[in-house]
Structure 1
């Protein structure tokens, strides 16, 4: 029997990159999976991912939802439960990468980044809690920059993702009596379409790691799946950094 057989997961920002790898990996372990996507350009990828999961024998739904809109986040949780029957695992993965000097950050950009990285996970947890059973899992995807800022022009990104650490620790205490675990996975340099291994500065990034390698989305997904499964039942209130040794 697969580790997550009979479970239902919701992954925010699941149509590409790390999110899509998490969706595939959860489904491979037996879970039915809902995931959100925001951009019209991601719709075809979302449809293809649903078809891929269904072809492997699991149920999947793609929900168009902008994580910057609280009502959309809440509705995504509701649709997951309505269509898949339950909710066992919430993965807060949706994110954006603001990059630039702190003095250039506009009020509008600040509000959107905080909405996606801070308000959306909090809102998703609020919406999910009435449905999460004992043994439920809440997993957020952060960044290794919250442990060590290894480059410049990332103040807004790092600040917003750092909030997940506080949320994780506090929720672990609050929800522990209900048998729900709460953790964060902090990826390092991961090869995605937004961070290609042959892009500008890629070689410098590669050599900054102890292992001399970019991570793959599947590397991050493997840790998420471990936390979601039986092996993660006593892991809570912590951040696991998966960064090939950048922060070593």
Structure 2
């Protein structure tokens, strides 16, 4: 089960499962799970539900898509079954509608078409395209809607959300910010740049358990001294093609036993 493809996302078929395996077990206590940079929720979809789950993304297109999948998936499925697909539809309608259509269901439909047909979604969604059916299986939408049924969805500033969560001792927080080492041209995020010192400061103040994702070329190790680090080779997927092998890292403020360091 997965959402749309999304640059930098942790697909349940790739890094999502690995990250989820390193997070504290949600069955242990009344855990509050928080993802401030939600994207396509590859990690949340790779783990069992927690007692309370809160996810946020600064990109309204992403949050709108998840809200429609959760609350109006039957209508979205119906529209996808009727959706013609061609380069003209993609470029003349879908690219515009994904951001500007007044109907949230139509915006979600357009985003589905764009991310299904675009070969290079990272380049502001203006990359090369292929003509494919935009359909996602009805059973996938049904499963996503069921998994998101009790998830709280927010659209706002990620660091502000983290600052409000600093005293939540039962929190488990997965932080997957846009990577500082990645060119802005490979990211469709509304929030292209991260205030690294501000983000690192609130992560150090968290009473809960935090895992932050990045690459070994990112500066997080300097900002999070004493945090445990795990790493995994992965193939970077940028611009719709296969990049080279990179080292994905997860910095954690807890040990193998799940207790705070």
TM-score (norm 1): 0.40
More helix by share: 1
- Which of the two has higher C-alpha Rg? 2
